[in-house]
A = this chain, B = another copy of it.
Amino acid sequence: MSISPLAPATFPDLPAIEGVTFAAASAGIKKADRTDVMLALLAPGTSVAGVFTRSATRSANVRDCQAKLAIVSEGPAAILVNSGNSNAFTGKRGDDSVDALCKAVTEICGIDPARVFTASTGVIGQRLPHEKIIAKLEELHANQGAANIGIAAKAIMTTDTFPKAAGETIMIDGAPVKIAGIAKGSGMIAPDMATMLVYIFTDAQIGQSDLQALVTAHTDRTFNCITVDSDTSTSDTLMIAATGATGVDVTDNADFTDALHSVMLDLAHQVVKDGEGATKFVTVKVTGASTDADAKTVGLAIANSPLVKTAIAGEDPNWGRVVMAVGKSGAAADRDKLTIHFGETLVAEEGWVAPSYTEEAGAAYMKQENIDINVDLGLGSGSSTIWTCDLTHQYITINADYRS
C-alpha cells in the first residue's frame, strides 16, 4: 500500500510527557515482521478519561474500558493495545481475552486490573490470540521509555499508510505544559479492520470528571466531525491521560483547552487524510443554520453523500449535488435563501446559479488538493464544520477487491 498523497511530510517532534512511558513489540498478531502491541504505563495520580463508539455491537475491550472509567483510583494505570485483531464480535471468548490480558498486566506490572485499559484493532470475528500478547508483556515492561511514543504510534497501525501524531507545548503560569497524542484510523472501517484509536497524554493536572467533560466536548467538534464513508466502527476509542507531573492545574484554563483542541483536530484531520483512497481533503463549513445541530446535519449530509464525494474525486464542480444533499438532510432549509461558495467562488444564491459563476472557475478550483465547500443557509446563526475526503476508485478497489 503506497502512502496517502495527503500524508504530512514528516512525523512531528513530540514533547515527552512526564509520568508516561511506552514500549512496543511484535507479538505475531499481524505479520511477523511488524510491531503489533504497545503498552503505555501511567504514573500514580494520572486522571484518565475516554470517549467510545456508540455502536450496539461494540467490542469487549470498549465495554471493559467504559466500565472502568467510572472507578476512581489514584494508583498507576496501563494502556495495552494490539493491532491485527479487533476482538469484536467474538462472543464470550472476547470478554475472556480482555480479562486474561488485564490479569497478566497486573501480575507483571503491579497495576490494579481496574486501571488496565485495553484496545484491539484489526480483523472482526476471529478469536484474539491473547496468549501471544501475554508472552510479550515482560519485554514490554522492560523496554518502557518516555521517548517511545513514535514507536507506539506505529504499533497501533492496521491499514494506515502513515503513523499519526500531534503535540503542543504551552506556557501556563510560567511553566511548560505538554500534550502529545497518537491516533490510528483509515476509513471509519478499514477492510475487516475495526478502527479508530486515539491516545492523548499530558503532564497537566486536572481532575477526572473535568478531564472527561473537556474531552467529550471537544470530541464533538473534532473526531465527531470527520467522516470517511459514514460507517462506524465497533472499536472506536479515544482516551486521554493527565499525569499531573507539572503540578500545573489546567481546570477551566482556556490556553490548555485551545491546545488540546488543536491536538485533537490535528489528529482528526490526519485520520481523514489517510482515508481509504483519499486524494482530496474536504472542509464543509455550514453557516446560517437555525441551530448548530441543523448545521451539523447539513454538513454531514454533504460530506457523506456518495454523489458529492465522487464529484470531488472527478474534480467536477457539481454544485447541484450540494443542493441535493442540503435538501435531503432533513434540516430546515429554504431554496431561495441558500448561498454556496467553492472556496472564495460564489456558486449559487437566491435559488439559482450565481450570475458571476462560470464552470471554468469552478473546474479550476476543484483541481486543488484542499477543497472548501461553504454553505450558508440564510436562516439563523447555527454553524458547524465537517471534514471528509473524496470517494475514489481506490476506495472500491480496497474494499471490494480485498480478496482478489
List chain B residues, Cβ under 8 A from A316.
400, 402-403
Name the one of B56, B125, B229, B404 contacting A307, with C-beta atoms under 8 angstroms.
Answer: B229
In the complex, per-residue mask of A254-276: 1 if CB is within 8 Å of any chain B CB, else 0? 00000000000000000000000
Are A323 and B399 neighbours in the complex by a CB distance under 8 Å? no
Question: Is the Cβ of A231 less than 8 Å from the Cβ of B305?
Answer: yes
In the bound complex, how far is the Cα of B55 from the Cα of A334, in angstroms?
10
Given A334-B56, A348-B89, A351-B92, also A400-B310 (CB < 8 A): yes
Q: Cα distance A327–B352 when bound, in Å?
A: 40
C-alpha gap A229/B58 in the complex (Å): 26
- The answer to whether A328 and B400 touch across the interface, beta carbons within 8 angstroms, is no
Bound-complex Cα distance A327 to B359 (A): 42
Of B233, B304, B393, B402, the residue contacting A314 (CB under 8 A) is B402
- Interface size of A by CB at 8 A reads 72
Least CB distance from A94 to B in Å reads 8
Given contacts A89-B352, A189-B307, whether A231 and B319 have CB atoms under 8 Å apart is: no
Of all chain B residues, the one with the shortest Cβ separation from A308 is B231
B residues near A327, Cβ cutoff 8 Å: 53, 55-58, 232, 234
- Bound CA span A200–B351, Å: 31
Residues of B within 8 A of A348 (CB): 89, 125
Q: When the two chains form their complex, are residues A401 and B314 in contact, meaning their CB atoms are under 8 A apart?
A: yes
Interface residue? A369 (CB, 8 A): no
For the complex formed, measure the closest distance between the CB of A351 and the CB atoms of chain B, giving whole angstroms. Answer: 4
Contact B324 A57 (CB under 8 A): yes
A249 CB to closest chain B CB (Å) equals 38
Indicate if the CB atoms of B396 and A125 lie closer than 8 Å: no
- Given the known A-B contacts A57-B326, A350-B91, are A396 and B396 also in contact in the complex, defined by CB atoms under 8 Å? yes
Taking the full assembly, how many copies of this chain does it contain? 2
Chain B residues within 8 Å of A396, by CB: 310, 313, 391-393, 395-396
Contact B401 A56 (CB under 8 A): no
A325 at interface (Cβ–Cβ under 8 A)? Answer: yes
User: Could you tell me if B324 and A231 are in contact, using CB atoms closer than 8 angstroms?
Assistant: yes
Known: A194-B324, A400-B391. A89 touches B351 (CB 8 A): yes
Question: A331 to chain B: closest CB distance in Å?
Answer: 8
Q: In the complex, which residue of chain B has the Cβ closest to the Cβ of A335?
A: B57
| A311 interfacial by beta-carbon distance below 8 Å | yes
Inter-subunit contact A335/B125 (CB<8 Å): no
Max count, chain B CB within 10 A of own CB: residue among A231, A318, A392, A400: A400
Which A85-131 residues have C-beta < 8 A from chain B?
A: 88-94, 123-125
Complex partner residue of A324 from B123, B189, B319, B324, CB under 8 angstroms: B189
Contact of A57 among B231, B305, B338, B353 (CB under 8 A): B338
Report the Cα distance A403→B57, complex, angstroms: 41
A53 to chain B, nearest CB (A): 8
A318 touches B57 (CB 8 A): no
Residue of A57, A125, A353, A393 with most partner-chain B CB within 10 A: A57
Scoring A residues 49 to 76 as 1 if CB is less than 8 Å from chain B, else 0, what string do you get? 0000111111000000000000000000
4 residue pairs, one from A and one from B, having the closest CB atoms = A57-B327, A124-B320, A314-B400, A232-B328
Q: A55-B328, A194-B320, A392-B400 are in contact. List 14 more A-B contacts (CB 8 A).
A: A56-B331, A57-B338, A58-B327, A89-B351, A89-B353, A91-B351, A192-B320, A194-B324, A230-B305, A230-B306, A231-B328, A307-B399, A313-B396, A314-B404
> Which residues on A are within 8 Å of B, measured CB to CB?
53-58, 88-94, 123-125, 189, 192, 194, 229-234, 304-307, 310-311, 313-316, 318-321, 323-336, 338, 348, 350-353, 363, 391-393, 395-397, 399-404
